A and B are shown apart, each in its own frame.
Chain A
Amino acid sequence: MPKPKMKMKGGAGPANFRKTIKRIFGLLRPFRGLFALVVVFIILGSIINVAGTFFIRTVIDDYIEIDNPDLKRFALALLVMGSIYLMGVITTFVYQRIMLTISAGILHKVRYDMFAHLQKLPIKYYDTHTHGEIMSRFTNDTDTMREMMSNAIPQLINSSITLVAVITGMIIFSPALTGIVFLVIIIMVAFVSRIGKISGKYFVKQQKSLGEVDGYIEELITGQKVVKVFCYEDTVKQRFGKINQELRHNATTASTAANILMPIMGNLSHILYALIAIVGSLFALNPQLGVTITTGTLITFLLLTRTVSNPITQIGQQLNNVLVALAGAERIFEIMDEKEEVDDGYVTLVNARIDESGNILESVERTGVWAWKHPHKADGTVTYKLLEGKVTFDNVLFGYEENRVVLNNISLYAKPGQKVALVGSTGAGKTTINNLINRFYDVPDGKIRYDDININKIKKADLRRSLGIVLQDTNLFTGTVMDNIRYGRLDATDEECIEAAKLANADSFITRLPEGYSTRLTANGANLSQGQRQLLSIARAAIADPPVLILDEATSSIDTRTEKLIEKGMDKLMEGRTTFVIAHRLSTIRNADAIMVMENGEIIERGNHDSLLAQKGKYYELYMGLLELS
């Protein structure tokens, strides 16, 4: 049988498919035993099925068409056959049941692996892919895989076995006629591979369009408010119509290719039948042609011919499904192949305590004292360094894209416990500094040090655990208010959560909610105001009790009165911690130990409030901008 060519323009080559298939079998590994069992059961079932067909012949020949038929012996034979059939039924049931367990299990595993891997991807990945596109892999693509697991593979095995059995029978009966059969089968295979090629190509396109459509749906439903405000409903509908039509085009072609397969194969087999009948009868009725064949053999052969097309059609159709699933699987593996956030840090964060002689000792329980554990590869020793919260930037150069510098030669120095403020116009690069400290992005040039350790050497998880970050965009999770606060430290008690909420001045509005701390938040806390969401995220950071705090516009939506109220709490929160405050509302940073004024990715002024005012530079301007009318 010629190998169906699956190479397609712009799509995946055969090597890719082979790799994908290999990986899918890799997924099967945990179910190895069960899968082997299924294969055995399927083979058993097919054999029983084929045997059943032959049995009918035997029963008629041996029990009915004899001289002295005995109904009792006949009934007994049927009973024996019945129990074999019953076995067939049971095997089918059992293999389907096991297959269900396997396919549901694999789907779960695929979803889980994909999600777990997603968590490890760098922020950059999320910044460059739409959510809908990612989600479509969780829905459409896993769905096609389910289809393949539960239907296509068993059917393929089943049909292959039947095909082998039938063709073996044919060769035994008449090699000459089998030649004709092979000829037609080659034509059939050519059709299958040709159609498969088309449908495969368009299925890949279809899945891609589907991803786009899903992405658009997700983005626009999430951004519904903006659509309404701009009366953009009609334009959006039109744009959707366009990609929807594109999907229609690709899906129609793909599905046509799949649908015409069955009639083509079925009718080719009828033509095959006619051919065999004609040629066979020529041989049978004209012995002078040199091929001897009895009419009995011819009839049996014709019977076999009728059964040969079914498995071929099945194989063709199921191969098609497999192709679809492979396209989906490739998209899933694409995510799984995305490079994980590299983390070659080896310095870890540990709880520590200091003994009488001033040595730092690692401790199992939470002590409130942290230390960096620094293993030295060269001599295998471990040194500990107390976490103090000193952060330095040393000539840091950074841009998200090439040729677009966002931070230019930034150097800054935060002593332990200091409050450092970053102010400046929007787009000056303040948030980028935050992105670099917690290593959402890595610095190509220059160094950032944390307690004199290059942050590239610190394990990312430990680095981030040591930083408490409150972001401008608050994101809350489905769950109760309490759950959301506890997100900061999962083992915090209810009392500690409430304490943190009080610190952030969130307690008063929470207690006014219908169910207080047990109120369920949905859809990113849609039932709260933006300012309330910010208070909650401050509480969330407070409970984490991190040595270093980064507040990135954390109070931008909180009114100044409330801000005054939480100031005490905030001060308490910042006490003894190195704190970076990114703000344009200068009221929050007046008491900062150091203020850096940024512009166009550079620090243009630095000092404290008084010295900067005295400088009468940019800071003075910014500060007076607030004052000028009073």
Chain B
Amino acid sequence: MIKKLVSFTKGYTFYAVITPILVMLEVSMEVTLPFVISKIIDVGINGDGGTPYVLKMGLIMVAMAVFSLIMGGLAGRTCSVAAVGFSTNLRGGLFAKVQDFSFANTDKFTTSSLVTRLTTDVNNVQMSYMMLLRMLVRSPMMLITATIMAMNINLKLSVVFLVAIPFLGGAIALCGGFAYPRFIKMLKRYDLINENVQEDLAAIRVVKTFVRENHETEKFRKSSEDLRKMHISAEKCLIFIMPVMMLTAYACVLSILYLGGGYIMKGAMTTGELTSFLSYIMQILMSLLMLGFIFVMVVMSRASATRIVEVLNEKIDITDHDADESLTVEDGSIEFDNVNFAYAKGAENFVLKNVNLKIKSGETVGIVGGTGASKTTFVQLIPRLYDVTEGQVRVGGHDVKNYKLDVLRGSVAMVLQKNVLFSGTIRENLRWGDNDATDEEIENACKTACAYDFIESFPDKFETVLGQGGVNVSGGQKQRLCIARALLKKPRIMILDDSTSAVDTATDKKIRNELKKNLAGMTTIIIAQRVASIMDADKIIVMDNGEIKDVGTHAELLERSEIYRDVYYSQTYVEEAKNA
């Protein structure tokens, strides 16, 4: 885990290394200063040094303080650069990793948990990393110097440390041990809270139409209350540390006073020595407490670090490491060879069963089938959004697994059933299809997708800003923007997954005609509820319950496929039109 995390200090390693050195220099001044101070008192004021001596030592002290100030200031800067740099790297690394995740990977973590891991957990780790850089050198150094000094004054009295240090250390470790599992639990509660908020934000229209605001609030109150309890139960373990520390400190002071007092009465020690000894023991305990705090922080952030490393170490189950780098998608032919598919590994029921199919390059293929017939699942295998469980999918004559993912997906455009636009302008959203597209290309794509006119009707035209999810355009407009976005990719294969469902029939038809006119040679797969959208396709696939039931042209299917006939007659009103 440490090794994994250390690799993210890259670019800031210098700062991470220099910080402890600067701190060391700063601390070296800090521990020498008491010497100078005692000299000022003993020689200058109490002794016969007089004002000149005090002046001399005073100036030395000022010089040391200035030096220490500069070192400390620099350390403050370097450790900020190092720690913030580290967390920036870490966040960037996590984000990049998550971008490479397959959907199976994402589902495993859930999106809300991933969001917490990239935000709250990274912040936690950054905090404790900063603490480590600054304190891990400082505290032990103070601890050791103070211990040596104290032992120098009176070895026998130092026995007190031998009891105090393990006691305090043990107590801190015990608290940390209790706290760790509770902190893990607390973070899980955080995930739940986030999930709760996220879901509510997404479904706010449903919440409002059903007047379920209070219901949602009550649900949230429960999970927030759970978090509150877990928060208390986790931190409860930690609030023991401070009192235990005080207890130890006071016990030390009293026993040293008692023992030391005895020595003084016997004449074996001076009062000056006793006071110094006392101040050293305070220093020792303070450093120990600091170490304790570092320990606690590490415990708290270990829970976060574990969750981060989990993401970083997640094996991505769709990769293109074995792909042939030079392979490009030559044509838009598609082949399904004995394909079986299930979303979950080891699931007994396949969602797609024994699918065999050949689509020639440039063909237009329609897919019809009932709700839950696995049409979407079927087309998602083509750009390798999921990997087949058994069998093979070939595009352009090669197994999809042999292509680099960007090559494959660059050639297969897919307009999803659930369209997502991102916050930004319309133009920015369209550029997803092609970052270097000229204005003319963008306009053409929009014209083909029948989106140009409505975009032009907006006051800001292509610069119209869309909210998250494209809330300020209508469902049908959103779909047409998504088609235009996909067209800009100039793909060999275009998959339209029920992507004109909110578009009226006339526009739908116009889009299909435009596609045919402007993009001859592109393989087009259309999933549609409307038979009209697909009846003139070269090939129509009838799916039911994860299986291909029939393939043929409209006329053929009308004749032999009962399912197709059913679908067709449920939508056409020939008889009625005749009667009318």
Residues of B within 8 A of A284 (CB): 45
Q: Are A425 and B504 in contact (CB under 8 A)?
A: yes
Also in contact, A400 and B472, with CB within 8 A (given A104-B232, A105-B228) = yes
Residues of A within 8 A of B385 (CB): 225, 228-229
Q: Which of A91-144 contact B (CB under 8 A)?
A: 92-93, 96-97, 100-101, 104-105, 107-108, 111-112, 115-116, 118-120, 123, 126-132, 134-136, 138-140, 143
Closest partner residue, chain B, to A223 (CB atom): B420
Most buried by B among A245, A526, A584: A584
Q: Are B92 and A241 in contact (CB under 8 A)?
A: yes
Also in contact, A252 and B262, with CB within 8 A (given A221-B98, A464-B208) = no
Q: Are B423 and A115 in contact (CB under 8 A)?
A: no
Q: Which of A260-275 contact B (CB under 8 A)?
A: 260-264, 266-268, 270-271, 273-275
Closest partner residue, chain B, to A432 (CB atom): B474
Partner of B201 from the list A131, A229, A248, A523 (CB cut-off 8 Å) is A131
Also in contact, A130 and B423, with CB within 8 A (given A278-B54, A629-B535) = yes
**A630 contacts the other chain (CB 8 A):** yes
Residues of A within 8 A of B420 (CB): 222-223, 225-226
The size bracket of the interface on A is: 35 or more
Q: Are B468 and A219 in contact (CB under 8 A)?
A: yes
Q: Which of B70-88 contact A (CB under 8 A)?
A: 71-73, 75-77, 79-81, 83-85, 87-88
Shortest Cβ distance from residue B171 to the other chain A in the assembled complex, whole angstroms: 13
Shortest Cβ distance from residue B372 to the other chain A in the assembled complex, whole angstroms: 5
Q: Are B371 and A78 in contact (CB under 8 A)?
A: no
Closest partner residue, chain B, to A91 (CB atom): B243
Q: Are A263 and B210 in contact (CB under 8 A)?
A: no
Q: Are A522 and B215 in contact (CB under 8 A)?
A: no
20 extra interface residue pairs, beta carbon distance < 8 Å, beyond A78-B258, A224-B111, A487-B212: A64-B274, A82-B250, A86-B250, A104-B232, A127-B472, A140-B123, A213-B91, A230-B433, A230-B486, A231-B409, A244-B88, A252-B84, A270-B61, A277-B54, A282-B51, A285-B51, A478-B195, A487-B210, A561-B370, A584-B503
Stretch touching chain A among B140-148, B301-309, B358-366, B571-579: B571-579
Partner of B69 from the list A263, A278, A630 (CB cut-off 8 Å) is A263
Shortest Cβ distance from residue A138 to the other chain B in the assembled complex, whole angstroms: 5
Stretch touching chain A among B102-110, B160-168, B172-180, B321-329: B102-110
Stretch touching chain A among B36-44, B330-338, B394-402: B36-44
Q: Are A295 and B46 in contact (CB under 8 A)?
A: yes
Also in contact, A248 and B88, with CB within 8 A (given A281-B45, A584-B504, A627-B574) = yes
Closest partner residue, chain B, to A522 (CB atom): B110
Partner of A236 from the list B68, B99, B119, B473 (CB cut-off 8 Å) is B99
Q: Are B217 and A115 in contact (CB under 8 A)?
A: yes
**B35 contacts the other chain (CB 8 A):** no
Closest partner residue, chain B, to A467 (CB atom): B209
Also in contact, A464 and B209, with CB within 8 A (given A56-B278, A237-B96) = yes
Residues of A within 8 A of B193 (CB): 111, 138
The 8 A CB mask of A416-427 against B (1 = contact, 0 = none) is: 000000011111
Q: How many angstroms from the CA of A465 to the CA of B209 in the assembled complex?
A: 7
Also in contact, A622 and B83, with CB within 8 A (given A115-B224, A270-B65, A281-B54) = no
Q: How many angstroms from the CA of A31 to the CA of B243 in the assembled complex?
A: 23
Q: Are B423 and A255 in contact (CB under 8 A)?
A: no
Q: Which of B560-580 contact A (CB under 8 A)?
A: 563, 566-567, 570-574, 577, 580
**A322 contacts the other chain (CB 8 A):** no
**B292 contacts the other chain (CB 8 A):** no
Residues of B within 8 A of A286 (CB): 51
Closest partner residue, chain B, to A469 (CB atom): B209
The size bracket of the interface on B is: 35 or more
**B515 contacts the other chain (CB 8 A):** no
Residues of A within 8 A of B239 (CB): 93, 96-97, 100
Q: Which of A209-247 contact B (CB under 8 A)?
A: 210, 213-214, 217-237, 240-241, 244-245, 247
Stretch touching chain A among B2-10, B440-448, B475-483: B475-483
Residues of B within 8 A of A104 (CB): 228, 231-232, 235
**B518 contacts the other chain (CB 8 A):** no
Q: Which of B404-448 contact A (CB under 8 A)?
A: 405-406, 409-410, 413-414, 416-420, 422-423, 432-433, 435
Also in contact, A64 and B271, with CB within 8 A (given A88-B246, A622-B506) = yes
Q: Are A557 and B417 in contact (CB under 8 A)?
A: yes
Q: Are A237 and B473 in contact (CB under 8 A)?
A: no
Can you list 20 A-B pairs, Cβ within 8 angstroms, ordered by A?
A60-B261, A64-B264, A93-B239, A93-B240, A108-B224, A134-B201, A135-B194, A139-B120, A224-B101, A231-B410, A245-B88, A255-B130, A427-B476, A487-B212, A523-B111, A524-B199, A528-B372, A564-B566, A625-B504, A626-B571
Closest partner residue, chain B, to A65 (CB atom): B271
Residues of A within 8 A of B40 (CB): 277, 281
Residues of B within 8 A of A233 (CB): 96, 99-100
Residues of A within 8 A of B45 (CB): 277, 280-281, 284-285, 295, 298-299
Closest partner residue, chain A, to B376 (CB atom): A529
Q: Are B254 and A101 in contact (CB under 8 A)?
A: no
Q: Are B199 and A119 in contact (CB under 8 A)?
A: no
**A532 contacts the other chain (CB 8 A):** yes
**B454 contacts the other chain (CB 8 A):** yes
**A535 contacts the other chain (CB 8 A):** yes
**B505 contacts the other chain (CB 8 A):** yes
**B114 contacts the other chain (CB 8 A):** yes
Closest partner residue, chain A, to B258 (CB atom): A78
Closest partner residue, chain B, to A534 (CB atom): B371
Residues of B within 8 A of A472 (CB): 475, 502
Also in contact, A52 and B250, with CB within 8 A (given A247-B88, A263-B71, A427-B477) = yes
Also in contact, A263 and B75, with CB within 8 A (given A96-B243, A560-B529, A587-B570) = yes
**B524 contacts the other chain (CB 8 A):** no
Residues of A within 8 A of B472 (CB): 127, 400
Q: Are B41 and A530 in contact (CB under 8 A)?
A: no
Residues of B within 8 A of A229 (CB): 383, 385, 409, 413-414, 416, 486
Q: How many angstroms from the CA of A108 to the CA of B193 in the assembled complex?
A: 11
Partner of B61 from the list A64, A274, A488 (CB cut-off 8 Å) is A274
Partner of A140 from the list B50, B119, B419, B468 (CB cut-off 8 Å) is B119
